[in-house]
Amino acid sequence: MAGGDTDDAEPVPPHRACAFRLDRGARIWATRTFRVGGKIFATLGYPDAAWGVVMLKPDQQALVVETTPKVFSPVPGGWGLKGSTRVNLAAADAASVKNALTMAWELRRAPSRNPIRAAWRGPSRAS
């Protein structure tokens, strides 16, 4: 590739590659956010580089936490009660992360039923 990339460049981790396929992502502070329809469906780097977060419904969160508790846990506080789910990237396998990212992406890509939010967001931006 152009730009000085070499063959010994660090490979892209599977969780990041999967999220990038769903959305190219935007960097805000030290956290990478992934959006669809203007809404964040996942982040990497919160609270640090060892973690990611997926935005699920509470019932989806309960399912992934129950089936893979070493990988997924609720975000502490109110965000976690609403479905925000931490991903332990060191313990994560590609299949479980892909499943959680896909659920979050599908949830957030649905059009907003709130007319105020839809009007405020305006037309979707092409990246």
| CA separation, residue 104 to residues 5, 23, 51, 85, 99 (Å) | 32, 12, 16, 10, 9
105 belongs to a structural domain:
yes
CA atoms within 13 A on the CB side of 29: 8
Here the tokens at position 78 are 């109110």
pLDDT of residue 54: 95
CA 25, CA 28: separation in Å to the nearest integer? 10
2 belongs to a structural domain:
no
97 belongs to a structural domain:
yes
* CB-based contact 121:112 (threshold 8 Å): yes
Per-residue model confidence as pLDDT tens digits over 71-117:
999 999 999 999 999 999 999 999 999 999 999 999 988 776 666 65
50 belongs to a structural domain:
yes
Say whether the peptide bond before residue 47 is cis (omega within 30 degrees of 0).
yes
Does the predicted TM-score (pTM) go above 0.75?
Answer: no
Per-residue model confidence as pLDDT tens digits over 17-48:
555 555 554 444 457 888 888 888 999 988 88
Domain count, the chain: 1
13 — pLDDT class (breaks 50, 70, 90): low
Which domain range does residue 65 map to?
A: 32-69+91-110
| CA separation, residue 122 to residues 16, 82, 112 (Å) | 28, 25, 12
